[in-house]
């Protein structure tokens, strides 16, 4: 009678290999989906995302100046935390809790003043440096070279 009880327990104890593999596959899929979701949520509202939106608008203005042969400009309203292109009206608005610092002509603008950048038909610009940060300490910086008009995303410190 003892042999039957031990043999029965060996056959029914624990999980089979197939059951373990199925559980591992489900856990791996759920983990992967959650990582993608968190990354997408964080990326939409990060300072880097806003810096890239501003950078894309500035690159479009530079190309417009090169293609049309006319100067193109964008204005930064630091108080309202937004950038508006003069032609086309493209606008990037930052959340109220973000900090926006614009340095144009070596004067940092943080309060009520506004600042602007102009792209010339030869590809050059008036140059600007933009710094965006949030309350958590995340920040992003971009620069527009005055000589070439190229947008450069500065590395994090």
Is the model's pTM score more than 0.85? no
pLDDT in tens, 46-73: 899 999 999 999 999 999 999 999 999 9
- Check whether domain 47-154 has CATH 3.90.1300.10, yes or no: no
Give the whole-angstrom CA distance, residue 3 versus residue 9.
10
Closest CA to 115 of 77, 150, 86: 77
pLDDT top residue among 102 and 34 = 102
Q: Could you state, in order of their start, the residue ranges of all structural domains in the chain?
A: 47-154
DSSP string, 42-108: HHHTSHHHHHHHHHHHHHHHHHHHHHHSS-EEEEEETTTTEEEETTT--EEE--TT-EEEEEETTEE
Asked if the model's pLDDT at residue 33 lies above 90, the reply is no
Residue 2 pLDDT level (bands cut at 50, 70, 90): low
pLDDT in tens, 3-24: 556 666 666 667 788 888 898 8
């Amino acid at each position: 009678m003892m042999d039957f009880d031990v043999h029965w327990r060996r056959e029914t104890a624990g999980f089979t290999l197939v059951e373990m593999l199925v559980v591992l596959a489900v856990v791996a899929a759920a983990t992967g989906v959650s990582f993608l979701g968190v990354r997408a949520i964080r990326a939409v509202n990060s300072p880097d995302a806003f810096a890239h939106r501003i950078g894309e608008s500035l690159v479009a203005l530079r190309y417009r100046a090169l293609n049309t042969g006319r100067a193109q400009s964008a204005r930064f309203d630091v108080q309202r935390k937004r950038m508006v292109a003069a032609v086309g009206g493209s606008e990037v608005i930052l959340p109220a809790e973000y900090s926006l610092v614009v340095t144009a002509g070596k004067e940092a603008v943080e309060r009520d003043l506004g600042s602007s950048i102009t792209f010339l038909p030869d590809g050059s610009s008036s140059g600007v440096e933009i710094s965006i940060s949030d309350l958590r300490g995340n920040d992003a910086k971009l620069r527009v070279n005055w000589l070439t008009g190229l947008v450069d995303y500065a590395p994090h410190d």
